[in-house]
Amino acid sequence: MQNHHKVLIIGGGTAGIMVAAQLIEQKNFTDVAIIEPADTHYYQPAWTLVGAGTYDYEKTARPMASVIPKQATWVKDKATGFDPENNTVHTANSGDLTYDFLVVAPGLTYDMSMVPGLGDALDKGVVCSNYTDPEHTWKVIQNFKGGTALFTQPATPIKCGGAPQKIMYLAESHWRKTGVTDKTDIVFATPGTVIFGVPEIKKTLMEVVDRKDINLRFFHKLVELDAENQIAWYELTKDPAGEGVSLTSGEDFKDLEGTFVHNFKNVKVTVKDGRFGIHYDMLHTAPPSVAPEFIRNSSLVNDAKWLEVDQYTMQHKRFSNIFGLGDVAGLPTAKTGAAIRKQVPVVVDNIITLMQHQQTGNKEYNGYSSCPLVTDYGKMVLAEFDYDNKFTPDPKLKQMLVFNSDKEHWRLWMLKKYMLPYLYWNKMMRGQDV
Q: Which residues are catalytic?
A: 160, 371
Write the DSSP assignment of 127-158 as a string of letters.
EE-TTT-HHHHHHHHHH--SEEEEEE--SS--
* Beta bridge partner(s), residue 4: 98
Q: Tabulate helix, strand, coil % of the chain (nearest 5).
A: 35, 25, 40
Of 31, 44, 47, 40, nearest to 12 (Cα)?
40
Instruction: Tell how far CA 268 is from the center of its chain.
Output: 30
Handedness of CA 81, 342, 393, 362 (dihedral sign): positive
Q: Give, for 423, the enclosing helix (H) or strand (E).
A: helix 420-426
226 HSE (CA, 13 A, CB side): 13
Q: Are 34 and 23 in contact (CB under 8 A)?
A: no
Of 162, 165, 153, nearest to 114 (Cα)?
153
Cα 413 from Cα 116, distance rounded (Å):
36
In this structure, the strands spanning 369-376 and 379-385 are antiparallel
Cα 412 from Cα 204, distance rounded (Å):
14
At 329, the amino acid letter reads: A
Cα 430 from Cα 428, distance rounded (Å):
5
Please list, residue by residue across 32-46, b when 16 or more beta carbons sit within 10 angstroms of its beta carbon and e when fewer do: bbbbbeeeebebbbb
| Phi, then psi, of 283 in degrees rounded to 5 | -140, 130
The residues, any chain, with a CB within 8 Å of residue 388's CB and separated by 6 or more, are: 367
